Each structure stands twice: as C-alpha cells, then as structure tokens.
Amino acid sequence: MIEMKHISKTYTRKGVETEALHQVNLKVNEGDIYGVIGYSGAGKSTLIRMINFLEKPTSGQVFINGIDLGSYSTSQLRDARKNIGMIFQHFNLLNSKTIFQNVAIPLVLSKVNKTQIKDRVLELLDFVGLADKAESYPNELSGGQKQRIGIARALASNPSVLLCDEATSALDPQTTDSILNLLKKINEEYNITILIITHEMSIIQKVCNRVAVMENGEIIEEGNVLDVFGSPQQTSTKKFVQTVIHDEIPASVKNKIKDVPNSRLFKVPFDQNDTNPIVNDLIRTFNITVNIVFASINEIKDDTIGYLVLQLIGEKDLLEKAAGYLSHPEIGAKELAK
C-alpha cells in the first residue's frame, strides 16, 4: 500500500544542512492503522510530507499501491493526492466558509457537479455526527467538532489512505478518545488505511496495529503493537512504552520486600490465553511460599498485556528449582533485582 525505500531528506537553510530523514524504510499495509511515534524534531512531519509528495525526498522512493510517486508527472501527482486524505493538529478549516463549504472544497476543486457535492457533503457530515452544523462557521464549533469536520473534508474525495499529523494533540483526553473511535470506524467501515503521527504512546495503544519509533530522522524500531509494547528493544521505545504500561514495582512496595530473607523476585508475563496454574505449581511442586507483590494489566487495542511480580520465599535449592521452572519459554518469567 505505502512503501518508503531508503528515503533521506536534507534541508538546507542559510548554508546549514539538516538531515531530517536518514535512510527510512517503512511499509504500511492495506487496512493498517499504523502509528509513527517520536519526540519533537524526530522527522515525523517530514515523513508524512514525503508520502503525499508535498516535498520530494533528497533520495529514495515512495510507492503507493506499487507505483513510484517519483515517476509521476505533476498532473498525475495531483490525481494521486486525491487518494490521500490528511488531517492536521490545528484542523486547517477556512473560517470565512461554512462547514458545508469547507467539506465541499476538495469536490469543488475536482469539478464535481452541485447535486453530487450536496449529497456527498451531507452524507459525510452525517457520518461524523455533525449533520446539524452544515450552515455553521468553524469558530462556532469546539475543537473536537472542528476535527470531525477536518475528517469529513479529508474523506470527501474517497481516499484509500488517511494521514493524521498530531490530529488529537490540541484536544482534551475525552475528545481525543471520540476522535480515535471515529478513526477506527473509518478504518473498519470504509476500509481506509490510516497513518497516525503522534508523540503520545496512549494514541498508539488505543488504535494502532503497527508502530514505528522515530529518532533523529531514523526508524529505530518497528513492529506489531503488541510485540513492541510487550518487549521494547531500544531505550527510547522503552521510555515511550513506560508512559502507558506501568511494569515497575512502586518504590513503596520495593522498600517493604527488599529485606525479606531467602527470597527472590520474578516478573511473570500474564497471558490471558495461557491456563498454566503457575502460582499453584510453584507452591505445590517446590514447596515454597509465593507472595504476589505487584500486578498490572494494560489494554492494547483489542488485547491485553499484563505482568505479575512474585516474591518466592524458601530454601535456596528449592528457589533455584522454582527459578528453572519460571524461566521455561512457555512461562517466560524474568528475575528482578531486589
């Protein structure tokens, strides 16, 4: 669907070169809600500008549905862009035009006839839940409503891809959730592929199926959202994951358990599909005491990731055997320092 191959982008301003993207490879499949996360200046917006070819990469290629955008003439590019909708942090609505007129802009530009424009705009306003606002002006709407209009406008020309650059950053948490639910609905009902750019891991957690982490113009980690949240590899990825998954034992708990003699600590992943009676096995098979000191369960899109931290207390050789049992790949526990 969208494929970037070895994309680099260097800006030159007053003789100073900034490499905003360096050898980026990215593949977004049809039907994905793909999240790109990174700190400010990582190159996320530059990446999105390469996809709609508002700017040309310094080197590398972008393919949409297998076609190299670089091979297109200007008029072909204009047509190709109709296939790509975009929404923005600050909505980019025209204040002098009504909501109806704002949503109609792409259709007017494409010279669609008036009756069709009317039908399509009203259908879209209905879809985003704002059919009653057709004659209002943008400054009469809340931020969440403005973004719904931005979404309706982006969908007007029936795109197969929707690009969202920090589309919820100006909204409160509750409104953010309602916009994210709308994006999910667009993905499911219209089968539109969505690329979300954000610096908030909670956005990725709620709607994305894949994620790429950007740092200094490069993608440093990429994968299925459950895998990345379950075992992040890079330092930045770990930091992002920790903003939503609390798998650190609170200091107050740590203080209480640190001096317990003959004890060891283990972090056991909690798998809802796994029915191994781990705690029961530990107590019965190894004749040790098991103390649950901390647990956390987090929802990731339609799944969960959870951890249980167990303190095992008992004789040294029994603890060693229990440790062997817990390290079995099927259980996948890791020992923690006390």
Ligand X SMILES: Nc1ncnc2c1ncn2[C@@H]1O[C@H](COP(=O)(O)OP(=O)(O)OP(=O)(O)O)[C@@H](O)[C@H]1O
Whether the CB-CB separation of 62 and 70 falls below 8 Å is answered with: yes
Nearest distance, CB of residue 328 and Mg ion, angstroms: 45
Closer residue to ligand X in complex, CB, 42/213:
42
Interaction of residue 45 with Mg ion, rule CB under 5 A: yes
Name the segment binding Mg ion (CB under 5 A); options: 44-52, 129-137, 228-236, 326-334.
44-52
Interaction of residue 169 with Mg ion, rule CB under 5 A: no
Distance CA 89, CA 200 (A): 13
Residue 306's closest CA among 265, 234, 246, 218? Answer: 246
Distance CA 96, CA 313 (A): 71
Whether the CB-CB separation of 87 and 154 falls below 8 Å is answered with: yes
Closer residue to ligand X in complex, CB, 46/237:
46
Closer residue to Mg ion in complex, CB, 45/298:
45
Nearest distance, CB of residue 54 and ligand X, angstroms: 11
42 binds, among Mg ion, ligand X, none (CB under 5 to 8 A by kind): ligand X
Nearest distance, CB of residue 74 and ligand X, angstroms: 21
Nearest distance, CB of residue 199 and ligand X, angstroms: 5
Residue 36's closest CA among 245, 227, 168, 201? Answer: 201
- Residue 214 backbone phi and psi in degrees, to 5: -105, 140
DSSP class of residue 58? S
Residues that bind ligand X in the complex, under the rule CB under 6 A: 11, 13, 18, 20, 38, 40-46, 199
Nearest distance, CB of residue 39 and ligand X, angstroms: 7
What would the two tokens of residue 154 be?
Answer: 């982006």
Nearest distance, CB of residue 16 and ligand X, angstroms: 9
Nearest distance, CB of residue 256 and Mg ion, angstroms: 44
43 binds, among Mg ion, ligand X, none (CB under 5 to 8 A by kind): ligand X
Which amino acid is residue 194, in one-letter code? I
Q: What is the DSSP code string of 64-121? A: ETTEEGGG--HHHHHHHHHTEEEEETT----TTS-HHHHHHHHHHHTT--HHHHHHHH
Closer residue to Mg ion in complex, CB, 45/98:
45
40 binds, among Mg ion, ligand X, none (CB under 5 to 8 A by kind): ligand X
Distance CA 51, CA 278 (A): 48
Closer residue to ligand X in complex, CB, 18/276:
18
Name the segment binding Mg ion (CB under 5 A); options: 42-50, 98-106, 146-154, 217-225.
42-50
> How many of the other CB atoms lie within 10 Å of CB of 235?
10
20 binds, among ligand X, Mg ion, none (CB under 5 to 8 A by kind): ligand X
In the complex, the residues that contact Mg ion under the rule CB under 5 A are 45
